[in-house]
Chain A
Amino acid sequence: MPEDLAEIYRSTFPALVRFLYRKVWDVERAEDLAQEAFARAVVHKPESARGWLFVVAANMARDDARRAARERRHLTLLQSDPASAPAVDEAVHAETERSRVRTALERLTPRDREVLLLWDAGLSYDEIATQTGLARGAVGTTLVRARRRLVEAFATGEQDEHVARG
């Protein structure tokens, strides 16, 4: 069991970070949360550790987002953000793309988004079904909807920006 967990750690950690990143949008925070999820797995020794990790990680990310939102509200009261320094074009572009995808992901329903992110993190339909409570047959259908909405929302976001720029 411990060896299993060590092996799961090596094989699952990057996927867990990717999964968490799409929730907290901060890679260091995502890594911290992933490590904490593993720390809890060491204590609780869940039977199917991989799926369990993603559930625990998702819960932690949700708590983290609430806390971050509280802090942000607090910060905006204290200081106004000065104009950010100009960065390298490429980095700006990548950041723009990332935030577009982020916006698009936020247009999905929580369930669709969860299933899509779990799939992208490498979980199988069976694992996704177990973790979300969906019937296995519904996972494919959910993924169809999630993927379609993501692609459409992204395209819509791009159009809106073009319109806004004139």
Chain B
Amino acid sequence: MSMSHVDDGQLHAYLDAELPQAEAWRLEAHLGECPACRGRLEEQRALIARAGELLALAAPPARDVPPLSFRPGDAQPPPPARWPARLPLAWAATVVLALAAGWYLRGESPIAPAPPDRRAAAANAAAPRETARTVPPSPRQAPEPKTLAQQAPPAGRPVQEADEAARSVAAAQHDQMISGSALPNPQMTPLDQAARAKSGAVPPAAALAAPAAPSAVRWETISWDTARAILGVDPARIPNLPAVAKRSSAADRVVLVEQQLASGTVVRLHERPAAEGAPGMEVGTSERLARYVGNLRVEIEGAPPPDSLSKLLELVK
């Protein structure tokens, strides 16, 4: 074989489109004047095609890409069908924890010079039971994936539409988690953890608001003094954020604090005098989420903005 002939390795690299450009030109120039190498080129082309055919025979059956169904730190991926519920829940947890953290700061807030009250004590009592980043699936939601799985083919794969929906949510969630865990400010970390513990400690009874008919209740705006008079303490709220206090009627002792984030997301805090327990479910829209923290019922409405976590933590600070 003369120096100018090409070896099979080069031919394969050439046919695989992996030969560097300069070498490819040299090889083509040689092929142009060497029938023997042209013949070998065709042989190798056939070999590559045949090998590809055989590998294709041993390919796994084509299936859809499952959603990215795990979180950092998971040893085993959880069932994919759990994803659709996670984003809103995790975000609700974020707000809940922002609030919980806000309670600690209430003592220093200008409108709330009062000493730690029962609610704060309740928040403390709800000690870290679980440090998972995401709120555990509520009882209401847990059965849903199961139902999907039952309808699925015997192989037990998640239903395709669920996958489809989950995929985008999963990607968004995934990104959010990373940005949340990579907060540059070291002061955020203890806060984040305290808050995480709080959200994890939310009793399992705390459930999503059921999608229901639009509310018939009319809320009238009241002064902070009136709100304070009803509750006996300052109403809970996210500090440093515009807030409006409301009530449904003079007879009802539930105070609603509405706060709108820059993103358009509305956070609603329903509160009753501590002795009377948490306010009940209010009929609401399907986008609305609700959770309980101590006596407080928290609702969130609207799509959470991507930078919500850091933004909220900043607000709380």
Which A residues lie at the B interface, using CB under 8 A? Answer: 1-3, 5-6, 9-10, 13-14, 17-18, 21-22, 27-28, 30-32, 35-36, 38-39, 42-43, 94, 97-98, 100-102, 104-105, 116, 119-120, 124-125, 137-144, 146-148, 150-151, 154
Task: Determine whether the beta carbon of B66 is less than 8 Å from that of A35.
Answer: yes
Which B residues lie at the A interface, using CB under 8 A? Answer: 7-13, 16, 18-19, 44, 47-48, 50-52, 54-55, 57-61, 63, 65-66, 68-77, 155, 167, 171, 174-175, 177-179
Nearest Cβ on chain B to A121's Cβ, whole angstroms: 10
Given A39-B70, A140-B9, A141-B7, check contact A151 B51 (CB 8 Å).
yes
Task: Determine whether the beta carbon of A27 is less than 8 Å from that of B60.
Answer: yes
* Shortest Cβ distance from A24 into B: residue: B60
Task: Determine whether the beta carbon of B54 is less than 8 Å from that of A104.
Answer: yes
Which 8 A/B pairs are nearest by Cβ-Cβ distance?
A141-B9, A140-B9, A2-B178, A140-B13, A147-B51, A101-B58, A21-B60, A27-B60
**Residue of B59, B77, B155, B179 touching A35 (CB-CB under 8 A):** B77
Q: How far is the CA of A120 from the CA of B44 in the complex (A)?
A: 16
Task: Determine whether the beta carbon of B59 is less than 8 Å from that of A21.
Answer: yes
Task: Determine whether the beta carbon of A43 is less than 8 Å from that of B72.
Answer: yes
Q: How far is the CA of A137 from the CA of B20 in the complex (A)?
A: 11
Residues of B within 8 A of A38 (CB): 68, 70
Q: How far is the CA of A22 from the CA of B55 in the complex (A)?
A: 9
**Residue of B48, B57, B75, B178 touching A1 (CB-CB under 8 A):** B178
Q: How far is the CA of A10 from the CA of B51 in the complex (A)?
A: 26
Residues of A within 8 A of B47 (CB): 144, 147-148, 151
Task: Determine whether the beta carbon of A101 is less than 8 Å from that of B57.
Answer: yes
Residues of B within 8 A of A32 (CB): 77
**Residue of B10, B55, B61, B66 touching A120 (CB-CB under 8 A):** B55
**Residue of B13, B51, B52, B72 touching A42 (CB-CB under 8 A):** B72
Residues of A within 8 A of B72 (CB): 39, 42-43
Residues of A within 8 A of B9 (CB): 137-138, 140-144
List 21 A-B pairs, Cβ < 8 Å. A2-B179, A6-B174, A6-B175, A9-B65, A10-B65, A10-B171, A22-B55, A27-B61, A31-B63, A32-B77, A35-B68, A42-B70, A97-B58, A98-B57, A101-B58, A104-B54, A116-B55, A125-B16, A140-B18, A144-B44, A147-B50
Q: How far is the CA of A72 from the CA of B242 in the complex (A)?
A: 65
Residues of B within 8 A of A143 (CB): 9, 12, 16
Which has the most chain A C-beta neighbours within 10 Å: B58, B61, B63, B174?
B58
5 more CB-based (< 8 A) A-B contacts, given A143-B9, A144-B8, A144-B12: A6-B175, A22-B58, A38-B70, A124-B18, A143-B12
Residues of B within 8 A of A36 (CB): 76-77
